Amino acid sequence: MIGKLKGVVDGIDEDHALIDVHGVGYLVQCSSSTLARLQTGASVALHIETKVSEDAIRLYGFLVAEEREWF
């Protein structure tokens, strides 16, 4: 499972961010408050919660570990 991503914010959308980690882009679902604190082109480290279902693998990103634990 993925527990943390450290990379560069490659893009931000309504409900997710694209994080570039050494050339691999990870689509990470984030809250609006987390997304508001991200900037395209800036370095970021996100705590990740990975959810696997029949039809998808989803990554949820949090700026602090406590938010991830609460999730």
Contacts for 34 with CB less than 8 Å, ≥ 6 apart: 46, 61, 62, 63, 67
Quick one: pLDDT at residue 46? 97
pLDDT of residue 69: 74
In order of 15, 24, 41, 46, 54, the CA distances from 68 in angstroms are: 16, 23, 24, 10, 23
Could you report the per-residue pLDDT of 28-69, keeping only the tens digit for each? 999 999 999 999 999 999 999 999 999 999 999 999 877 777
Q: What is the pLDDT of residues 10-27, one digit of tens each?
A: 999 999 999 999 999 999
pTM: 0.88
Look at residue 64 in the predicted model and tell me its pLDDT.
Answer: 81
